[in-house]
Structure 1
């Protein structure tokens, strides 16, 4: 069951890029954009990551950290981060603990075949660890601008 708007997010610890192990509570004291993407190094996920990367300074000015998550292994996440010069960490959620906590695993259909996969989703969490906004079934174009505007509004900048 995903946290509802106004509820504290679960504190899950997972491996991340840079040899780190991160918990969502590590970001307390500043806002956090947690975005889930289906697969590293695919066109839509690359574009979304690049959009977050390109807006990183604006997010930082709104005291907002960025954290990406997918079911990819840590090696794939490291390669993706390095190749795209992301200045933020990516989480490897192979066991789907974080994905399940935010209810982003959905039945998808591709070429007539059904499979479970990550539904592109973004969550804006305030400095106290409370969920303030969520975007589900995200379309990449224009998404980061919308998230940035919400982060700026929440930060009062």
Structure 2
């Protein structure tokens, strides 16, 4: 029984960090016209859970938009790396709900629960990226590992104790 508990705890120790990985399949929109009002309205069009938005525009067709961008209202920093006209990776200090990658008249919308990075985002067509909009929240936090692991370990420990007492 103790071996089963140890194995379960090891599986949780490996699985919980993997659950924070952010790579998702995009939703394709063949006709994407951002509404007037700025990036916040574009996030609403994408049905994003993000409270704030940041739009990176223009996107250079050959060199992309590598760099660090800071949202003035929240101080959230978004970093773009490995970008060219048709590919990029990103990181954010605050959790991102949605990333909208626009090219010509279409868009790929990447929807996350709450992600801090992703790699390999692309536009929906062979056209170069025209702009990218990040929809994010500034007050949502993913629990740290001990916050999740300690209650689980306590429950497993209690189950072990009760099972052992029942067998005596």
TM-score by length of 1: 0.29
Query: When you count helix as a share of all residues, which structure comes out higher?
Result: 1
Larger Rg: 2
Question: RCO higher in 1 or 2 (8 Å CA, sep ≥ 6)?
Answer: 1
